[in-house]
Amino acid sequence: MEKNKELYSYLMDQTERLTEEWYQTLEKSNSSGVYASSSEEDIKLVKKQNQEFHKQFFQVFTKEEASCIKQFEEWIVNVASDPNHLATPSHSILNEYYRTRDQYIELVREFVSLQKGQYTQEDIDLWNKMIIDTMDKVTVWFIEEHSKYLKKRLQDHQELIYELSSPVIKLNETTGLLPLVGDIDTARAKLILENTLTQCADKKLNCLYVDLSGVVAIDTMVAQQIFQLHDALSLIGVKTTLSGIRPEIAQTAIQLGLSFDNIPVTSTLSRALNYNPETL
């Protein structure tokens, strides 16, 4: 343990130097995201994060491995979720972890060379193993967190796209239009249902035209969701008219045994706009 403390003390004295050497040898032209930024603020932050990592990592030589890794949690969560790292490919981040690992191994070699004869090859092998094992665990944990936040951001963006792609356009004080475009999967259909109900209520609409002429294909669940939209709107006092139903969608609805008896339907949006839903 005393040997470990001696190494720990030496390593802690080298944290600033390690960070500067790491950044100076960073291949910025072949990097992307946080490592390619020329912003002084970004550079300052990534250097700070790098130096904090060294200080956290070197505690493995004075504490139990499990305790040391647990203490990485705050650093990992903060760095894995920051915008600059989320804009950085995982393979680039992994490459920098490997470079840092190599820095540590080289620093151990340097420490031993300065203390000739005081440490055995067994000591060196043990330290290197501690570095490699701990770095592997921390790297896996970081990439898992990074991937989790990337997935969450992607979901948030997808939901925003879905929300923006299903706007209820107010035509007059009591009438609105919902033009649907593109493929509609189950997830998008669910959001359309939720957003349309909210928008119709907020806009105090009595009538909504739902135009499907821009929808190429829907699946079984989506066809049912469209009918549920009609039923849900009816419960809040909004009359619904469907227009522009393509042959493929009509065929799907018929195969499902869905009835259009209670839903006004027109072939085109222009025809729908020329009629009052109550007379269709």
Q: How far apart are CA 276 and CA 217, in angstroms?
A: 28
User: Is pTM, for the whole model, over 0.75?
Assistant: no
Domain assignment of residue 240, given as a range: 169-279
Instruction: Indicate whether 279 pLDDT > 70.
Output: no
Do 43 and 131 sit in the same domain of this protein? yes
Residues 202 and 234 in one domain: yes
pLDDT at 270 over 90: no
**Quick one: average pLDDT of 175-195?**
84
| Domain end point (choices 163, 191, 224) | 163
Same domain, 123 and 207: no
Give the pLDDT mean for 35-49. Answer: 91
Verify that 60 and 131 share a domain, yes or no.
Answer: yes
Task: Count Cβ atoms below 10 Å from residue 212 Cβ, excluding itself.
Answer: 22
Q: Region 35-51: what's the mean pLDDT?
A: 92
Tell me: pLDDT of 139 over 70. Answer: yes
> Is residue 136 domain-shared with residue 111, that is, in the same domain?
yes
Residue 250 is part of a domain; what is its CATH number?
3.30.750.24
Q: Domain total for the chain?
A: 2
99 plus 231 within the same structural domain? no
Helix axes 40-57, 15-24, angle to 10 degrees: 130
Q: Given this model, what pLDDT does residue 164 score?
A: 61
pLDDT band at 70 (very low <50, low <70, confident <90, very high): confident
Give the residues across from 177 on adjacent strands.
169, 209
Indicate whether 196 and 103 sit together in one domain.
Answer: no
DSSP letters spanning 97-153: HHHHHHHHHHHHHHHHHHTTTSS-HHHHHHHHHHHHHHHHHHHHHHHHHHHHHHHHH
Same domain, 150 and 181: no
Q: Are residues 132 and 176 in the same domain?
A: no
pLDDT > 90: percent of the chain: 44
For residues 6 and 221, the model is more confident at 6
Residue 140 sits in the same domain as residue 206: no
pLDDT at 41 (0 to 100): 92
